[in-house]
Structures are given as C-alpha cells and as structure tokens.
C-alpha cells in the first residue's frame, strides 16, 4: 500500500528558530495538504497545494508559514520563527482521483517548541 512519508518523526526546537518539516507524498498524487493537531484538540487544516501553488489556506497559516515543493517529490512546511503555541503534531496528506479523492495521511511530525 503506498504511503505518505514524513520526516522527522519528532523535532524539538528553541522558540524563535526556523523549522522545516518534510513530506514525500504518494507518487502520482497531485494534491497536497498540511494539517496540525495540538494535543487534545481537533485536527485542523493549514494549507492545500496544487500545481505548484497554494490553493487554499486557513487563518492559522500566517506569514510565519510557507510551503514548497522543491524537487517534484518532496513537499515541505516551513515555520520561520517558532512560537510555543506551534507545538503540535503536523500531518501531511495527499489525494488522487484514482482513490476517489480520499485522503492518505502521513504518520506525522511531532514538533515541540521549548
């Protein structure tokens, strides 16, 4: 079964530092997403990405966040200056027509900002 791969699985960073979370979506999937889940809270949408540009973003996705598909396989989420409240589990996902546009999620990156 194809998988969405995320690295690292856990990252600890100092407040104010930049972090890059990496994802390798399923090959031939064309639509990519980032979601996050603060401990004990709902899973929340951050951003969707298609055809090398952002197609939708939530109110959470402010100027501190950016996404990129640098090489046609990786899909990254950058947080420029991390805050304590950015501590969460970050999930990457992708979808494709052949799976009826059902989401496939990665196993997540747990980000801890100290």
Partner 1 sequence: KQEVTQIPAALSVPEGENLVLNCSFTDSAIYNLQWFRQDPGKGLTSLLLIQSSQREQTSGRLNASLDKSSGRSTLYIAASQPGDSATYLCAVRLSDRGSTLGRLYFGRGTQLTVWP
Residues that bind partner 1 in the complex, under the rule CB under 8 A: 6, 31, 33, 35, 41-45, 48, 50, 55-56, 58, 89, 91, 95, 97, 99-108, 110
12/43 with CB nearer partner 1: 43
Torsion of CA 23, 25, 27, 32, to 10 degrees: -130
Beta strands in 1-114 (DSSP E): 5-7, 10-13, 19-24, 31-37, 43-50, 53-57, 65-68, 75-79, 88-95, 104-105, 109-113
81/99 with CB nearer partner 1: 99
Q: How far is the CB of 58 from partner 1 (least distance, A)?
A: 7
Q: How far is the CB of 43 from partner 1 (least distance, A)?
A: 4
């Amino acid at each position: 079964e194809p998988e969405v791969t995320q690295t690292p699985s856990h990252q600890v960073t100092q407040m104010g530092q930049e972090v890059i979370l990496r994802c390798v979506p399923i090959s031939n999937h064309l639509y990519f997403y980032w979601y996050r889940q603060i401990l004990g809270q709902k899973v929340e949408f951050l951003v969707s990405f298609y055809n090398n540009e952002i197609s939708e973003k939530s109110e959470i996705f402010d100027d501190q966040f950016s996404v990129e598909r640098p090489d046609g396989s990786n899909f990254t989420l950058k947080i420029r200056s991390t805050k304590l409240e950015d501590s969460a589990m970050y999930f990457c996902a992708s979808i494709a027509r052949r799976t009826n546009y059902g989401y496939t999620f990665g196993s997540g990156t747990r980000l801890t900002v100290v």
